Chains A and B, each alone.
Chain A
Amino acid sequence: MTSDRGMILKEETSDGSTKGEDAEDNDAYRIFAAIAYAVVLIVIGLPLWWKTTDVYRVSLPYSRIAALDSLDVTLGMNISISTIDPARGGRLVADLKDIFKTSKLFQLTFLALPLEKKDLASVHSPEDLENASLQPRKPGELLLLEVPGLSRFTANHVLAGLKRTVYFSSETSESESAVKLSEVLESWLLQEKSLRQTVAAMTAPTETDQDRSGRRRMPTAAEYDIMITVVNPEPEKLHLNWDLPQAVQDYLEPLLQELSLLAAYAVKSQWLYFVTLNVQPKLVTETSGSGYQHYALAEDILPQIITPLEKKLASHVSRNPCLNFIVYIPPCEAAPLHIYRRQGMRVKGGVDAFLSPRWGGIVIHNPSSLICHNTSVPEPKEYSPDTAAIMGIFLAQLRLLMGIPELKEISRVGQLPLSTVSLRQWEFDALLRVRTLEQLTSAKLTLQSLSQLLGEISNIVINDAVGSSIYRAVNCVEHAADLLKTGQLDQAFNESKEAFLSAEAAFTDPSLLALLYFPDDQKYAVYIPLFLPVMIPVILSLKSIHAWLFGRMNFKTKLKED
């Protein structure tokens, strides 16, 4: 219609110049009106649309996150060697350096420290050694101390102390002591193979598995719940007299106190009544000897006990990982209950307990036969469980579950027994190392997967809080790697914990998904019915605007030429 009118108006220009000017002016105004629509809609409208429907995203350090892959994580460690003979110390240092120079994860610095014989003069027992002042205090350090006359205390050539010292005897030859010490370092104190396998299992889970201790260890967390459950299937027949809070206070608290740097612990306890094991143990009569009648639980049935029991445990009331420790007291009719290994033998040591990796442990504590066979006492019979035995088993299970590794037997190498403390400090250092590496790797993987997700899905919102969490995580990862290199283990652990928690918080923040269900096609389904009908006349009129503009320019150039 407009182009029609344009043509018609131009036909009439022959009637007079004033009409022609009017017509041209009218034409001009008409085109200006169309241009005005186009300007408002396209020049103002499009940037407005782009700006207001942008997904809010804080700028993130993508290059730094990508560079975390090639982050050099090595553990620097200072190992001091104190020998009476400085030459021997020097040779030992050279030997150990040679052995450990191929270590990929560790950057060991061996120092030879001089030792005065008089420091060891007043030593009468290994415990005195422990109290000597030359123990290293800083987490991550080690001291290899030559003790003349170690054979007084033990037959072993190397003795691992309770703090951060390993004692080796002066009587052994140098090469043998170097070999023994390197073995102790490798498999007990440094645990390099286990560390590397942990990191590899986290980075490429389809190729590498965790090793045995890694499979057993609880996952990394800032807080753990420990739930102790006493299961008494027939409370009307057997009444347990047990002060569980006091038992926890006496036995578990010291270990938890020593582990407090790693994580916070919330210990809870509960008593379950009328809950049975749901398996049928076999009645077995011992053929040899006493004809002792008892019930047998085969090792294969043990996994079937856990699942029905767990349903009743209420162990998921919080989001922290929960370690469940269960004491099962069989009723007198089903006592005594023993666990039989696959080979058909009973468990050595008379301890009927088993551990489920990453979950907890179950102890079967049989009531004493005196109480059970005492028919003169009316029901319910009173029984006080053996606190020390049960708690001891729990302690051992707790150590395994928290990641304190079982130590391989090395010939002629022993360790000082745990008496006053529940945890050797070099064990704690090894645990710190493993947890630090786990947290660093987990933070790195989380950040990288988040960065990859952000690149692929354009609908994820990153608000300010999440952005600052990510920055904090990246900074902490880099800082932790630096601290590890210089050997500051406890600070590195704290930084890596902060990195892990920040990365998890950023990744699992619900605000990321605020716009996820706005796929692009839905957005366009919202826009097109509203804006397309408006834009069609504008787009179509652009053609006539273009024609008019060029027509005018040609006309003007023609006038100029004429």
Chain B
Amino acid sequence: MKSQPMDNLVYLEYAVAGIIRYWLINSDYKQTIGDRVEISTSLNSWRKVTEGAYLYSEGINPYVGDNFHETPLGLIVFNKLISHIPQWIGIIFIVCDLVTAHVLYRTAQTFMSELFSRQMRKKEKYAKGTETLLLKQSDLVLPPVYVASAYLFNPYIIFSCVGQTTTVFANLCLAFTFLLMIKGQRIACCSVLALATLQSLYPATLLVPASIYLARAESSSSLEDKQSLRASSCILTVVTFISALLLLLYISSELTGGWEFLHATYGFILNVPDLRPNVGLFWYFFTEMFENFRLLFICVFQINATLLYLVPLTFRLHDEPMLLAASLTALMAVFKSYPSLGDVGFYLALLPMWKHLFNFMQQGFVVGCSFLITSAMGPIVWHLWIYSRSANANFYFGVTLAFATAQIFLVTDILLAYINREFSLYHGLHHKGSGKTTKLVLE
């Protein structure tokens, strides 16, 4: 409402992004992009979806073989799409992408206003001389536009959409989770989160920031005992999520007449049987693993992807559930078993929400250069390995590892910038603790 010109700008961006995607989908590049391992993995490739839909339409159970890893809900929906409106599928992907961008835009707008109101409340606790660090009203306008642009014009997202990967729909669910989380709608948020968890297991970790948000929304509006209210709210959120997930699983089993889909979807994600190269870290390790250690390392890797950082980050960022959610999404994109560039692009689009932290980031240049270099080198080394046969898997994994390291550096940099800013807000810009100016550095 206040940002009408901004809204217009955003709609223009939608149009331009839509045109770009439409042009790419209808060009010759679509197949090349869709076949690249960085874009489509065994979990989200459209080719597998068409194969599974064909098997399903022929009456064969697509989960019996090793080929199809979509959820039954997805199977039914995609089957209907493919059989009835095949010529509109590209348009549907583009529309989903644009809707995701819009949802992120609205999320960013809500978040900026929430940031501002919280800052107003905490103003008295801040040290003197930190006014330059505070957000101003004018600072609230641009970040949502940046978020939308970062999503619409990110090459990772564009390629992911053009390649027709189901990550587009996963990102849509995740974006809706973020929006409903910040709006405080429990049932809708838990349902969408259950939908996202159904597809790929890892969004379940977002239950924690979601319950923090919902608890905060409930307890801020009442004056009763906050501790027990928050506890009961968290429990209610968890229960709602679990029941939504169980309902979806039950519907899925009814649709396919059995529970084999669990082995093909969750079993596939957890056991990592397919070791085709992708931008993740699992495939290289497990090609070289001795069978004796396989179970240990699968457990270790999956704990690393889900549990290990969840609890400590929750403890540190319990005041900032949105940052917690974004960090968890980023860690998920790096450490999940079959990541793709669509996951990476999603959390990159969330970063402009913390534009005020960019001043405190110390490794921005290194991270940016790493992103550029590894994104360019990845396809080159892949070509050298697969087609020219002059490189080997180590080259590709090295580039992928550098990419993952760059992402980790980005996440830690953002978090450290947050801590830095909080510290500066509470203790002044130049703290004279022991007679000299101190600044926090990550060692």
Contact = CB atoms under 8 A, between A and B. Distances in A.
Give the 6 A-B CB pairs with smallest separation, nearest first: A33-B312, A36-B311, A52-B296, A33-B315, A52-B295, A29-B315
Contact of B300 (A19, A37, A45, A515): A45
Contacts of B311: 33, 36, 40
A30 B293 contact: no
B290 A518 contact: yes
B307 interface: yes
Query: Could you tell me the dominant secondary structure of chain B's interface residues?
Result: helix
Nearest to B294: A52
A121 interface: no
B427 A12 contact: yes
Contacts of A11: 433
Contacts of A515: 292
Nearest to A37: B312
A41 B315 CA distance: 17
B194 to A, nearest CB: 25
Interface string B318-329: 100000000000
Size category, A interface = 20 to 34
A44 interface: yes
A149 to B, nearest CB: 79
A1 B443 CA distance: 8
B431 interface: yes
Contact of A8 (B295, B313, B431): B431
A40 B312 CA distance: 10
Interface of A: 1, 5, 8, 11-12, 18-19, 22, 29-30, 32-34, 36-37, 40-41, 44-45, 48-49, 52-53, 515, 518, 526
B300, B316, B443: which has the most chain A beta carbons within 10 Å?
B300
A532 to B, nearest CB: 14
Contact of A40 (B290, B307, B440, B443): B307
A40 B290 CA distance: 25
B303 interface: yes
Interface in B413-443: 423, 426-427, 431, 433, 438, 440-441, 443
Nearest to A44: B303
B19 interface: no
B303 A40 contact: yes
A51 to B, nearest CB: 9
Contacts of B292: 53, 515, 518
Given A29-B315, A53-B293, A518-B290, A48 B299 contact: yes
A543 B136 CA distance: 42
Contacts of A33: 311-313, 315-316
A29 B443 CA distance: 21
Nearest to A38: B312
Contacts of A1: 440-441, 443
A518 B292 CA distance: 10
A30 B299 contact: no
Contacts of A41: 308
B172 to A, nearest CB: 32
A29 B315 CA distance: 5
B118 interface: no
Contacts of A29: 315-316, 318
Nearest to A522: B290
B299 A526 contact: no
B303, B308, B312: which has the most chain A beta carbons within 10 Å?
B312
A44 to B, nearest CB: 7
B300 A8 contact: no
A48 B296 contact: yes
Nearest to B124: A18
A44 B306 CA distance: 14
A37 B216 CA distance: 26
